[in-house]
A = this chain, B = another copy of it.
Amino acid sequence: MAREQGDPSRLLAGVRIFQDLGSSALADAASSAQRLRRARGGIFFRQGQVADRLFVLLAGRVKVSQVTPEGHQIVVRYSGAGEMFGCVPLYGGREYPATAAAMTECDALSWDRSGTDRLMERHPRMAIHALELLGEELAQVRSRYAELATERVERRVARALLRLVGQAGKKIEGGVLIEFPLSRQDLAELTGTTLHTVSRILSSWEEAGIVKSGRQRVIIRKPHGLVSIAEDLDEGGTA
């Protein structure tokens, strides 16, 4: 457990599901947590495994993805520090419906099922927070669903990038860098298209000076240009 950085209960204070819980509750949670690290590429859990653990990410970035019966990959979401993932045990699911893999070096806490049950019993507010988080996630998936059903690929990719900027954007000179390795394939699986189409789109944006991208790297040079594509505004916004 909390090998370095001393008090893990301090880390938990910033995590939404543990908010407003009081220090004794945090200590309670921290004491029953297991500390987990993963190198880039490491796996937290795999789709189909018995869902017996809940995770909270302290540092790093995790890709949560699904494989359809036909073998297509879908990226469900990217989780960052302070976010919860593998929340299936919270609501009684049997198996993980997705795989969670570390995109960068990761550091996480986790609780087994009986631990989460006990925590939620003792601190009912945790259940309320869990409800809130799940509700928000539901709203988000629905909005992505609507997007997929009604929007063109280019706009979907623009929106996905803007969302990623919000989650993992880092200001650098000349733009905003997405702070973890993100391949064309990843973007394609996130937006429901193919890496070829993503590559073409990024190339055209690069030509327009909107982004600068390379091997698993994306820098947004003109966020406003992306916004014009993402929203209804005319394309060709030159910020």
Contact = CB atoms under 8 A, between A and B. Distances in A.
Given A72-B150, A91-B136, A134-B135, 5 more contacts: A66-B142, A68-B150, A70-B151, A91-B131, A134-B134
Contacts of A136: 91, 93
Contact of A66 (B90, B91, B146, B151): B146
Contacts of A146: 66, 68, 72, 74
A86 B151 CA distance: 26
A134 B91 contact: yes
B149 A88 contact: no
Contacts of A98: 142
Nearest to A73: B150
7 tightest A-B CB contacts, nearest first: A91-B135, A149-B192, A72-B150, A91-B131, A127-B127, A134-B134, A74-B146
A57 to B, nearest CB: 19
B145 A141 contact: yes
A171 to B, nearest CB: 28
Interface in A165-193: 192
Question: Which secondary structure dominates where chain A touches chain B?
Answer: helix
Interface string A126-161: 011011101111110111111111110000000000
Interface of A: 66, 68-70, 72, 74, 76, 87-88, 90-93, 97-98, 120, 124, 127-128, 130-132, 134-139, 141-151, 192, 232
A165 B142 CA distance: 23
Contacts of A147: 68
A186 B138 CA distance: 22
A64 to B, nearest CB: 10
Nearest to A89: B135
A134 B151 CA distance: 26
Nearest to A88: B135
30 contacts: A66-B142, A68-B146, A68-B147, A68-B150, A69-B232, A74-B146, A74-B150, A87-B135, A88-B135, A90-B131, A91-B131, A91-B132, A91-B134, A92-B132, A93-B135, A93-B139, A97-B139, A97-B142, A97-B143, A98-B142, A124-B124, A127-B127, A127-B128, A127-B131, A131-B131, A134-B135, A141-B145, A148-B148, A148-B192, A149-B192
